[in-house]
Structure 1
Amino acid sequence: MAIAQDKTDNFDDLLTCTICLETFTAPKYLPCLHTFCKTCINTYILSTVDKEKTGTTFKCPICRQDVLMGESPGQTETWSEKLPGNHFVASMMNRQAIRKHEKICDSCKANNETKNALSWCIVCEEAFCKSCEKCHKSFKMTATHPIVLLNDLVTNKETVTMHPLIYCEEHRGEVVKAFCVDHSKPLCSLCATLSHRKCEEVITIEKAAKGIKQSEKSIKLSAELRETSKQLSDLIQNRKRHLTDFEKESEVILANVSTIKATIVEHLNKIEEHIKNEIIKSKKEVVLELSEKSAELESLKSTVDNWIAIYDTGLQHGSELQCLLEIHRIYENKMNCDEAFTKCISEIQDISMILEANDTAKDFTNLVSDLGIVKLVKTKANCPKPSISTNVNFHLGSINVINAIDLIQENSQISGLFMEDVFIFTHRHRCKVLKYDVNGKLISELKLTNGPLDIGQIDDTDVVVSAIHSKLIILNIQNMTQLRSIDVPYVHGCCYVNGEFILANGNTLIWINASSGVKSKQIETNSHTYHVHADNRKQYTFANNSGEVFRVANDKKIFTYTNSTLLNPRGIDTDCKGNVYICGYTSGGIHQLDKEGKLVRIIPTDSIGIKQPWVIRFRKNCNQFFVTCYQTAKVVVCEIV
């Protein structure tokens, strides 16, 4: 390969150690394929093994995967020496050094000297300075080896295969020369002799490597790795969105706490105002009553004091006749005064004011120790998962029937789900939710008050069922028990995404909060809509009774699909590649569309024993699906191969 500079030559990140952040020195790689400088990984091993007491293992500094050093690993100081060298990285380092005119003579380097290399031996695959090249040509064994100038490699004047020798990971110092096809393993001479002598197909390493870059295996691996990278990117974005949503939820809860506190304080202020008004009113009444009684006593005392003054004056200065008359008049009035005095005394009361607090107020700090309990509810995340059907051609693959399940009672609306290793079906006319194993054997059933119409998965254990008479019923499938119900407008199809239920409700789709049942969004669908499929709250697919299929993302229509052979569409779902499938209830057949809404094919359902397809559901990240039949109440489980 020529060392000409192009857009693929800049791979500095690949040649940088993530520990020291410098170009690799003696690169060693771990089973997880992460590569480090020999000295860097040695220092890391010594520090972590001693600190964490991990015995015969240590964790990769990047992915934290355990690296087992075997039953007899020896001293930890020698572990890095036992790790395999990364020959590919070493080759890339040579390539980079040559391109940058920084390649050091390999012979001088072996003698701890540093001289820039000028030439390259194609046979030995080593770089030489001028003097070492001269010595190399002077030996009889290497005199005829072709030598090319490094500068010619850089300027594309020479094209050679350039890589260092690859050494066996099991037998130190032995060069890899063969490849065992039976075990897909590179071999040195010792490996081939000792461990693989009975293998049927052992070929030279050059033969095994020939054409590998353009091979089907290489192309497939590249596609799978890129697909996995994309799925991981999607998952990372999903987790970032969830983090943002979680932070928003926490802010909402903090605001709710403040609102609850303000409501409590406002209510306490009203109670305080009421009790204060009661105190002021009672105080006024009692003060008035006590004042009136005191005034009455003051009046009696004034009368008596006046009599005393008249009597004393008469005794000192009046005649006996005058005294007689005054005493007589006083006695005549004293009886009335005594009666008034006695009456006043009998009516006198001491009045005190107390506050009889109720039990809640008395023990408020103990009875109300908090405003609520903060719970972290962990549920199975609705996020992208790795696809296991990368080898399936969903557009051209044939449909194979795996199993057929008869749910009994014809002409009924049957919906269902794949949940781990069981099927969950709803049967409207029998008013039941049915659990079957993968072999089609009934495990258990749950009788409902209202006939179920559709079913959506919430997490690994819970589902939501739409039922007639405007009900959403939340069920635990493990125990086959009803958890709660939500009253909603008339609804047929339902699904769950990100804490919300999306409901197919006549001519509309409605979004409601899964906890409170409060409606958050509504859109028109132009005609009666039976089912809806959603990837998330902003990306969903539905079909109306007019035969229109809509794919929507971020409130924008991605595509609208119509076909004269699609009559009264019902069930709708997508496979792991994003293809859309719609059941034609009246017309029969399942219309398969690609991501852009273009017709891929119409799958004839009569070929799998379905006359009126009602619902189609795919197993997550798989090529298996089932179709339910309205006319026969049959469920047919299929796969695309």
Structure 2
Amino acid sequence: MVGKSGIVYCDEHPDKAIEVFCEDHSKPCCTLCATINHRKCENVTTIDKATSGIKTATQTTELCQELQQFGQEIDDSLQNSKDNKTAIETESTKIISEMNRLKNNIIKHLSKMENEIKVELSTKKGEILKAIVNDVTDLTSLKCTVDNWKRIMDASIKHGSELQCLTEVNRLIGKKDGIGNQIKTVISTLKTNSLKFKPFDSVKNFESNEKSFGCLTVSGSLMHIPSVNMQAGKIDIVHVFNVGDEHTQSSFGSGIFLGNFILLTNNPSQRVVKFNQEFVFQSQLKLPHGPYDITKIDFTKFAVGAPPNIIIIDVKNMRIEKSLAANVPFMGFQYLGSEYIMAHSGQLTWLDASSVSRIKDCQTDTDSYYVCATGRNDYICAANTSGVCKYVDGKARFTYNGTVELLNSPRGIDVDYEGNIYICGCNSKNIHQLTKDGKLVRIIPASIFGISRPWIIRFETNSNRFLLTDIDSGKVLLCQIC
């Protein structure tokens, strides 16, 4: 506290001026404080001696520099936030423009299809009406001939002589078969035409099939990515979650970071558990089947793979929103915008996220129980019992093969923010770290984590933190590379 005369007073004794400085506690104090609180301290000096040269001292200069750096970091972050706000406004405008463009194109295309069907309708209608007019003309002509013959016969019978009647009868009998055949021919070719319109299923069910213009997603990334040597940094265990049953083998645990929460699954107990970022339990949800994997949909929802179902869950209320029947065997899976990639043994299957209809299959050699994808055509999966393969657009970009002793039964796979690849060797009891090009960086023993067989590894987006599960104990470790 500073008085009007510029004298600095003690915080604990406001009526006492600062007169001494305790170097042991780095604290300026009054004589009373020195007597009561610092009498056992060895390095207590006068305030004049302590303040001598303080303005040019190294610690003062360094403090000012650090404060300047803090201020600059805050200013940069504020500017980044301002720029991000502007970018969001721009992106929103672009999205609205894109939706308007799509709407106009759809309307234009519908108008084109409508005009085409109208032209076709007019053409077919004209052809049918022309045929009907021709039939009517032929029938009318025959009717006139028959009516004329009837008038001749009526006149011959009523007013003509016997000879006249005989003559007309013989003349018309000779022509009767000919006109009879003409009548039969015309009548036999008559058609009852109709016009019907059957819309294609894609058009007929457009409203039910197409619920939206597209998928609107929110993606976030850290403005300041941690400055860490991801390939050589030491790995620390930050926290251990015990969500499994110690008496049950094969927990098949999985987990993800989602916003302010950490979500973990455990197969034997058939549940998903939510913790906050301070590792405090929030809630849990009992599932109808044991889960094998979990994937983020957006910042409000996630999906749990509990064969045979994909269960969509609201993260805030931990409530099941929807359950979809996958109709394919799977263990690991991942959500990618509008599709799920399902992994099981020697096959990957792509499913439509809304209808769960099968889009395509891709055969792998074996053991592809989990998949790590950065796009629908860019993914990594196990290629055999001791290796993995990265595929881009259906072609193998690289294959990493260890030996059974060094890498046995690859399961969980993930990448960090630098693109380094991590493979859980379940039966080799280690984790293989590769470069983004598939070159081995290091082999990390599971024993340093205090677990036996690593199952799933999942990195937090743009972070040096990751979740690691142990299939035997059910433990889930939150670790970080320092």
Q: TM-score range by the shorter chain?
A: 0.5 to 0.7
Render the CA deviation track for 1:222-260: whole Å, top value 9, x for unaligned.
xx9xxx9xxx9xx99xx89x979x67994799389959x
Secondary structure, counterpart of 2:359 in structure 1: strand
Distance 1:256 1:544 in 2: 48
Structure 2 equivalent of residue 584 of structure 1: 425
1:552 and 2:409 correspond: no
1:500 and 2:352 correspond: no
Distance 1:466 1:496 in 2: 11
5 Å matches for 1:347-366? Answer: none
Distance 1:462 1:586 in 2: 33
TM-score, with structure 1 as normaliser: 0.44
Letter in 2 for 1:397: G
Distance 1:482 1:462 in 2: 10
Offset at residue 519 of structure 1 (A): 2.2
Distance 1:563 1:607 in 2: 21
* Residues 1:505 and 1:247: Cα distance change in structure 2 (over 3 Å): farther
Contact 1:498/1:536 (CA < 8 Å) preserved in 2?
no
Render the CA deviation track for 1:244-285: whole Å, top value 9, x for unaligned.
9x67994799389959x98xx99xx9xxxxxxxxxxxxxxxx
Contact 1:590/1:603 (CA < 8 Å) preserved in 2?
yes
Distance 2:318 2:60 in 1: 59
Structure 2 equivalent of residue 568 of structure 1: 409
Which of 501, 511, 514 is the equivalent residue of 2:350?
A: 511
Which of 290, 304, 324 is the equivalent residue of 1:486?
A: 324
* Residues 1:557 and 1:387: Cα distance change in structure 2 (over 3 Å): farther
* Residues 1:497 and 1:378: Cα distance change in structure 2 (over 3 Å): closer
Distance 1:570 1:513 in 2: 24
Structure 2 equivalent of residue 139 of structure 1: none
Distance 1:257 1:433 in 2: 46
5 Å matches for 1:152-167? Answer: none
Render the CA deviation track for 1:596-617: whole Å, top value 9, x for unaligned.
1000001112111121101001
Structure 1 equivalent of residue 55 of structure 2: 198
Contact 1:568/1:587 (CA < 8 Å) preserved in 2?
yes
Structure 1 equivalent of residue 263 of structure 2: 424
Which of 438, 443, 466 is the equivalent residue of 1:602?
A: 443
Contact 2:342/2:350 (CA < 8 Å) preserved in 1?
yes
1:399 and 2:235 correspond: yes
Distance 1:476 1:554 in 2: 33
Contact 1:404/1:440 (CA < 8 Å) preserved in 2?
no
Contact 1:401/1:638 (CA < 8 Å) preserved in 2?
yes
Offset at residue 509 of structure 1 (A): 1.0
Which of 593, 605, 612 is the equivalent residue of 2:434?
A: 593
Structure 2 equivalent of residue 358 of structure 1: none
Structure 1 equivalent of residue 359 of structure 2: 520
Structure 1 equivalent of residue 217 of structure 2: 380
* Residues 1:605 and 1:388: Cα distance change in structure 2 (over 3 Å): farther
Unmatched segments (≥5 aa) in structure 2: 1-52, 122-205
Contact 2:54/2:60 (CA < 8 Å) preserved in 1?
no
* Residues 1:423 and 1:253: Cα distance change in structure 2 (over 3 Å): farther
Bigger CA radius of gyration: 1
* Residues 1:634 and 1:375: Cα distance change in structure 2 (over 3 Å): same
TM-score, with structure 2 as normaliser: 0.57
Which of 244, 251, 254 is the equivalent residue of 1:408?
A: 244
Secondary structure, counterpart of 1:529 in structure 2: coil
Contact 1:382/1:497 (CA < 8 Å) preserved in 2?
no
Offset at residue 552 of structure 1 (A): 1.6
Structure 2 equivalent of residue 540 of structure 1: 379
Contact 1:462/1:474 (CA < 8 Å) preserved in 2?
yes
Contact 2:226/2:464 (CA < 8 Å) preserved in 1?
no
Letter in 1 for 2:396: K
Of Structure 1 and Structure 2, the greater strand share is in 2
Contact 2:347/2:361 (CA < 8 Å) preserved in 1?
yes
Distance 2:100 2:348 in 1: 25
Distance 2:429 2:223 in 1: 29
Letter in 1 for 2:373: A
5 Å matches for 1:15-414? Answer: 198=55, 200=57, 250=102, 254=106, 258=110, 379-382=216-219, 385-386=221-222, 388-409=224-245, 410-411=248-249, 412-414=251-253
Larger relative contact order, structure 1 or 2 (CA cutoff 8 Å, min sep 6): 2
1:473 and 2:311 correspond: yes
Distance 1:423 1:454 in 2: 14
Letter in 1 for 2:426: Y
Letter in 1 for 2:370: H
Render the CA deviation track for 1:30-70: whole Å, top value 9, x for unaligned.
xxxxxxxxxxxxxxxxxxxxxxxxxxxxxxxxxxxxxxxxx
* Residues 1:248 and 1:492: Cα distance change in structure 2 (over 3 Å): farther
Distance 1:555 1:509 in 2: 12
Secondary structure, counterpart of 1:452 in structure 2: coil
Distance 1:202 1:400 in 2: 31
Distance 1:203 1:620 in 2: 38
* Residues 1:588 and 1:251: Cα distance change in structure 2 (over 3 Å): farther
Distance 1:590 1:599 in 2: 11
Contact 1:531/1:570 (CA < 8 Å) preserved in 2?
yes
Secondary structure, counterpart of 2:408 in structure 1: coil
Distance 1:248 1:559 in 2: 42
Which of 458, 471, 474 is the equivalent residue of 1:630?
A: 471
Render the CA deviation track for 1:336-394: whole Å, top value 9, x for unaligned.
xxxxxxxxxxxxxxxxxxxxxxxxxxxxxxxxxx96797567743357x3564452001
Overall identity of the aligned pairs, in %: 32
Distance 1:458 1:371 in 2: 24
* Residues 1:390 and 1:556: Cα distance change in structure 2 (over 3 Å): farther
Contact 2:226/2:463 (CA < 8 Å) preserved in 1?
no
Letter in 1 for 2:57: E
Contact 1:414/1:426 (CA < 8 Å) preserved in 2?
yes
Q: Number of aligned pairs?
A: 312
Structure 2 equivalent of residue 281 of structure 1: none
* Residues 1:252 and 1:640: Cα distance change in structure 2 (over 3 Å): farther
Distance 1:491 1:407 in 2: 23
Unmatched segments (≥5 aa) in structure 1: 1-195, 209-216, 270-369
Contact 2:367/2:410 (CA < 8 Å) preserved in 1?
no
Offset at residue 471 of structure 1 (A): 1.3
Render the CA deviation track for 1:519-577: whole Å, top value 9, x for unaligned.
22221111131111111112111114522211122222221001011111111100000
Contact 1:530/1:544 (CA < 8 Å) preserved in 2?
no
Offset at residue 510 of structure 1 (A): 1.3
Distance 1:249 1:474 in 2: 32
CA-atom RMSD, angstroms? 4.0
Letter in 1 for 2:382: A
* Residues 1:447 and 1:559: Cα distance change in structure 2 (over 3 Å): same
Contact 1:490/1:506 (CA < 8 Å) preserved in 2?
no
Structure 1 equivalent of residue 293 of structure 2: 454
* Residues 1:374 and 1:440: Cα distance change in structure 2 (over 3 Å): closer
